[in-house]
Structure 1
Amino acid sequence: MTMSPDTSAAKPQTPEQDLVLVEDRGDYAVMTINRPEKRNAMSSAAQRRFRAALAETVEKKVVVLTGVGPSFCAGVDLVEARNAPRASGRRPSQVPLSWTQCQADLRAHPAIFVAAVNGFALGGGSTLINNCELAVAAESATIGTPEIGFGAWPTQAGPAMIKRVLPKHAAEIIFSARRIDAATAFRMGLVNEVVPDDQLLERACQIAEHIAGFDAIALDWGKKAYHHLQGLGWDDALDYSTNTSSIVSREQGAAAEAGLDRFAAGHRGSGQGA
């Protein structure tokens, strides 16, 4: 049975706040999508709450993102979208769709995101995984982009998948419209590791706690560089990386010098040798 995260510490005050729960754990937080009766499909209200939850966690170094029940996220609520009245007039070209803005806010958030994939992640749910920097999957998790199966193109899940995995793997997921299991997701590089269901949240929080021990400025600017560098050639990537390094040192001020002093004195942090 897939483990549901412990949300006992979260005490939302309104029905909309219930749709995405936020648990404060010091330097990191746990965000939980909470529409189990709809397989955590993101209605317009859930999307508003998702963006509000991102704003609430803007001071955190790391955020673990997961879902309640047997689903991580089933993507956008297609039933609601299909039944929604047609908007009158045109939508300005520079005004993004709500789900597009959710993904943009996630990518622009200063925290490192760890997806704890507790069940199936379909369509927009797979996009959330791909836009999180790290991901841990429960053994029972499955991931897919089913849009082709009902005659549609995966508007965001498609490019997110193509940019994150090898071309043949992306084509397999997109054009077969079949779900892949957690072991296959690991083999394709969609997730970093697979753990027993009852260890999922614990493992994701271990990763979050470890990363949260690092400098907030380095994590924030490092995340921005990580996403930006993926679209650059080697020379431009080096220029951008050099500029990022300078910004981090400047923003840290005396803290940057203190870190180098500790290293020179023989104090070794994570990954810095014996």
Structure 2
Amino acid sequence: MYQTLEIERAGKVATIWMNRPAVFNAFDEQLIDELTMACHELDADPGVRIVVLGGRGKHFSAGADLNWMKRAAQFSHDQNVEDARRFAGMLRTLSGMSKPTIARVQGAALGGGTGLTAACDMAVASTDAVFSTSEVKFGIIPSAISPYVLRAIGPRHALRYFQSGERISAERALAIGLVGEVVDGAELDACVGQMVEALLQGGPLAQKAAKELIAAVNGRKIDDSVSEETAQRIARQRATEEAKDGIAAFLDKRPPGWLA
């Protein structure tokens, strides 16, 4: 079904592998479309609890494919807008998945690769990983990826890196919040596995609700409306069968139903 991706399933975990190692998993129109389709497919699959995004070969993703960039340079305004919408839509689909998402990053994660990292809920990087928002070096801007990178690193760091295009080491990415863990390459899968095991302990509907909660309250002034909204959200969640089972399981000293 997919020409640029491999979908690997292991129990309740699905890994999307970008599979263009010869070009360092660079984006083109097909990869963008297939990533969008894969995210929709896995989000709708009740057997999948967690989605991991990785890249085959030595690099996570080197950003835009050069041939794609050459084609885009000849686009009309309308073609440019439509092309950009597809890329922005793919990132929004990934970011908006109802299930936990983890970026598994090694080697280069440049431009759009940095965007993919930031669009996932969490990210683990190997010590050799390197990131950048290097678009200004080509006379363009990191527009489509900006909401996700800003969410991860904040405006102060974005003001520097969006304008300088500097390379960001794995340790620096950890310090500014772009990734959550940095480990030796040989330990990358084990670290992802530890995060997966922790995530599997939570209720799937509660995790979906937690993502929606963050989106709803982030950046808002803490006032009566926010307090009321948070009260309404926890009240609705407590009334779910998942919550009733989770609380009963804790009191009865048994595993909750989602661990069965």
Question: TM-score w.r.t. structure 2 length?
Answer: 0.86
SS in 1 for 2:174: helix
**What amino acid is aligned across from residue 37 of structure 2 in structure 1?**
A
- 2:17 corresponds in structure 1 to 32
- For 1:183 and 1:189, the matched residues in 2 are separated by 10
**What amino acid is aligned across from residue 211 of structure 1 in structure 2?**
L
Between the aligned residues of both structures, percent identity stands at: 26
- 2:119 corresponds in structure 1 to 131
- 1:86 corresponds in structure 2 to 75
Distance change (3 Å), C-alpha of 1:76 and 1:228: farther
- For 1:62 and 1:243, the matched residues in 2 are separated by 27
- 2:244 corresponds in structure 1 to 257
- 1:21 corresponds in structure 2 to 6
SS in 2 for 1:234: coil
- For 1:174 and 1:95, the matched residues in 2 are separated by 21
Gaps of 5+ in 2: none
Q: Report if aligned partners of 1:61, 1:219 keep a CA contact under 8 Å in 2.
A: no
Distance change (3 Å), C-alpha of 1:190 and 1:90: closer
- For 1:190 and 1:114, the matched residues in 2 are separated by 12
Q: Is 1:242 aligned to residue 231 of structure 2?
A: yes
**What amino acid is aligned across from residue 248 of structure 1 in structure 2?**
Q
- For 1:246 and 1:261, the matched residues in 2 are separated by 17
Distance change (3 Å), C-alpha of 1:196 and 1:90: closer
Question: Cα distance, 1:266 vs. partner?
Answer: 5.7
Question: Cα distance, 1:95 vs. partner?
Answer: 10
Question: Cα distance, 1:23 vs. partner?
Answer: 0.8
- 1:7 corresponds in structure 2 to none
- For 1:96 and 1:172, the matched residues in 2 are separated by 24
Q: Is 1:175 aligned to residue 163 of structure 2?
A: yes
- For 2:49 and 2:236, the matched residues in 1 are separated by 18
Q: Report if aligned partners of 1:23, 1:30 keep a CA contact under 8 Å in 2.
A: yes
Q: Report if aligned partners of 1:136, 1:193 keep a CA contact under 8 Å in 2.
A: yes
- 2:42 corresponds in structure 1 to 57
**What amino acid is aligned across from residue 198 of structure 1 in structure 2?**
A
Distance change (3 Å), C-alpha of 1:240 and 1:74: farther
Bigger relative CO (Cα 8 Å, ≥ 6 apart) = 1
Q: Is 1:191 aligned to residue 176 of structure 2?
A: no
Q: Is 1:68 aligned to residue 51 of structure 2?
A: no
- For 1:55 and 1:150, the matched residues in 2 are separated by 32
**What amino acid is aligned across from residue 56 of structure 1 in structure 2?**
E
Query: In structure 2, which of residues 73, 95, 111 is the aligned counterpart of residue 107 of structure 1?
Result: 95
Q: Report if aligned partners of 2:119, 2:148 keep a CA contact under 8 Å in 1.
A: yes
What's the Cα RMSD here? 2.5
**Deviation sequence 1:80-99 (CA, Å, 0-9, x none):** 14325636x957x9997111
Q: Report if aligned partners of 1:34, 1:68 keep a CA contact under 8 Å in 2.
A: yes
Question: Cα distance, 1:258 vs. partner?
Answer: 2.7
SS in 1 for 2:98: coil
